[in-house]
Amino acid sequence: QSALTQPASVSGSPGQSITITCTGTNNDVGRYNYVSWYQQHPGKAPKLIIFEVNNRPSGISSRFSGSKSGSTASLSISGLQAEDEADYYCSSYTTRSTEIFGGGTKLTV
Amino acid sequence: QLQLQESGPGLVKPSQSLSLTCSVSGGSINNNTYYWSWIRQHPGKGLEWIGYIHHSGSTYYNPSLKSRVMISVDTSKNQFFLKLTSVTAADTAVYYCARDLGGYTPFNWGQGTRVTVSS
């Protein structure tokens, strides 16, 4: 199974908003609303920030939001802060009853 | 509060088997809602889903690793395990265990354990 496609990098200034895309196929992102997003700081474990396309776990800032259109999911971050600088990964459930991740996007603030 | 802790050898020789344990505290592996996942991250690279297990014993594996992977569970010890056979340098990675919501979302992660394959 091929990884979901994410841009290698995105950047923004403090206070601005950015969007990271995650493109899959009709066998994963396009088929199910089981798209998740993770934030990973250097040397740390990934942290879930969005699940089931647009739901935030308890304690996650409302500055983070998710959406999906067809086979492309998106993560939006508003009011960028320095601590948002990290790697971001998407994941999706697939028709093979497996999970698949995106290649990751490095966010520079 | 749920905690997951990976443990196992940090160095494995090529052609041997890699075996890791994930110890779960603050929650029961017997909960029907969750699957229990292994995920790895090669140095400087992205995340790769390895597979997961339900306490009932049902397993699902990444097709690219399926021939070399086995995930098992010991509900009495609240632990689950990863075994990867015939390892090569390409299996050098940080290995994470995670609690997976419904088999759709790795929700809670361990801190990860680094495994190096080298002679």
* pLDDT tens-digit series, residues B47-103: 999 999 999 989 999 999 999 999 999 999 999 999 999 999 999 999 999 999 988
What percent of chain B has a predicted confidence (pLDDT) above 90?
95
Q: What is the mean pLDDT of residues A69-93?
A: 98
Place of tokens 């395990």: B81
How far A81 CA lies from chain B's nearest CA (Å)?
Answer: 23
Which residues in chain B have Cβ-Cβ distances shorter than 8 Å to A97?
60, 103
CB A45 within 8 A of CB B96: yes
Q: Is A39 on the interface with B (CB under 8 A)?
A: no
Q: What is the pLDDT of residue B93?
A: 98
How far B38 CA lies from chain A's nearest CA (Å)?
Answer: 11
Say if residue A106's pLDDT is above 80.
yes
Q: What is the pLDDT of residue B69?
A: 98
Q: What is the mean pLDDT of residues A87-105?
A: 96
- Confidence band of A81 (pLDDT split at 50, 70, 90): very high
Q: What is the pLDDT of residue B103?
A: 85
- Confidence band of B38 (pLDDT split at 50, 70, 90): very high
Q: What is the pLDDT of residue A90?
A: 98
Are B61 and A98 in contact (CB < 8 Å)?
yes
Mean pLDDT across chain A: 97
CB B39 within 8 A of CB B54: no
Q: How far apart, in whole angstroms, are the C-alpha atoms of residue B73 and residue B78? A: 8
Mean pLDDT across chain B: 96
- Under an 8 Å CB criterion, which residues of B touch A? 37, 39, 46-49, 51-52, 60-64, 96, 100-101, 103-112
List strand residue ranges (DSSP E) for chain B, in order.
3-7, 11-12, 18-25, 34-41, 47-53, 59-61, 69-74, 79-84, 93-101, 105-109, 113-117
Three-state helix/strand/coil letters over chain A: CCCEECCCEEECCCCCCEEEEEECCCCCCCCCCCEEEEEECCCCCCEEEEECCCECCCCCCCCEEEEEECCEEEEEECCCCHHHCEEEEEEEECCCCCEEEECCEEEEC
Are B37 and A102 in contact (CB < 8 Å)?
no
- Confidence band of A2 (pLDDT split at 50, 70, 90): confident
**Six token digits for residue A32:** 């199910």
Q: What is the pLDDT of residue B102?
A: 86
What percent of chain B has a predicted confidence (pLDDT) above 70?
100
CB A33 within 8 A of CB A40: no
> For residue A37, what are the β-bridge partners?
A50, A90
Say if residue A1's pLDDT is above 80.
no
What's the alpha-carbon Rg for chain A, to the nearest Å? Answer: 13
Q: How far apart, in whole angstroms, are the C-alpha atoms of residue A45 and residue A66? A: 21
CB A38 within 8 A of CB A46: yes
